[in-house]
Amino acid sequence: MSFALLVVASSVSAAVVHPARQAHIDAVNAASTTWRAAAHPRFAAAPPGASAPMLGAKGDMKLEVAAAKARGDVVDYVPRGGAAPEAFDSAARWPECAKLIGDIRDQSNCGCCWAFAGAEAASDRQCIATGGAVAVPLSAQDVCFNANVDGCDGGQIITPWTYVAKAGAVTGGQYNGTGPFGAGLCADWFAPHCHHHGPRGDDPYPAEGDAGCPSEKSPEGPKACDATAAAGHDAFAADKHTFAGDVQTASGEAAIMAMIAEGGPVETAFTVYEDFENYAGGIYHHVTGEEAGGHAVKFVGWGVENGTKYWKVANSWNPYWGEAGYFRILRGSNEGGIEDQVTGSHADAKWTRAGDSD
């Protein structure tokens, strides 16, 4: 599947762009590379690295996964054979779950990427495993603040999966019932939408740190459903969705492709470099700048454009960011360690809801 390069003109005068940031932008755009860089109001005047508070994937993911395997919490994914196609998109492969797979959420000004990517991929894999019978978003609010005491201060890509497997996650959508699933779910995200890194384009939301998008601190994890929850999603204990089966991990291009093609989107993490803050579209790879932090995201597919292989990745920085909420990144070169480890439930996992009878 091919995507046209999204070229978004910056609304920021070069005169107000931090000189080190402008140097990064100029270096990317002069490199005849596969992606375009541009400044925007949120980071223009700030030095490179200003995205660090949003990057909540903590620690060395390879070491974290290895420790989880040693504990028996995670097992290696074993491909079942068959060649992967040249291009693959989970939403096209499983149209009955396309609404979930394409639900681009917004983590607001909170470093809860690890919970968002996990809750999103778990929602997708539950839908796929049930043949579309259970097509509801699982709550990032529940996962972020009940699975890890650090919440907005970061977490690991194993945590959402072990939490959902052992404790279950309730349903939950976007802030104030926004997003494709509207209101009525158990525990929606608590923080407002924000404009995130990259050119503003048509994004109507306030930038991180501006009025309407404060830096968020972790609230207590929800123990009851929201007052807006509708019947069927209004009892916290009954609305818990969980699965019986292994939490799996895969590394390397071929194994990750097989795991996605078999069971749907998976969670991964990668090192964000400072030039990623200026991503405006195309197939990203690191050109310049230092490490800014670790970020968790969701792999949904892959493709080839003009001979360049890429992963299609869903971000949690709202649908106005990047390529309609997605970005593409070089595939096969382990860019930023993005192919080191992915996590997800077993494709054959049995999903249940606590309030449903057997």
Q: Mind telling me the catalytic residues? A: 113, 295, 315
CA torsion through residues 26, 30, 31, 37, sign: positive
Rounded to an integer, what distance in angstroms lies between the CA atom of residue 26 and that of residue 23? Answer: 5
Tokens of 1: 């599947």
- As beta bridge partners, residue 267 has 298, 343
Q: Where are the beta strands (DSSP E) in 160-274?
A: 241-244, 247-250, 266-273
Cα angle, residue 296 at apex, residues 58 and 79 outer, rounded to 5°: 110
Contact assessment for residue 125 and residue 77, using Cβ atoms and an 8 Å cutoff = no
DSSP 322: T
Phi first, then psi, for residue 10 (nearest 5°) are: -75, 140
Encoded amino acid at 106, one letter? D
Give the separation between CA 82 and CA 115, rounded to whole angstroms: 32
In the structure, how many helices (H) and strands (E) does the chain have?
8, 12
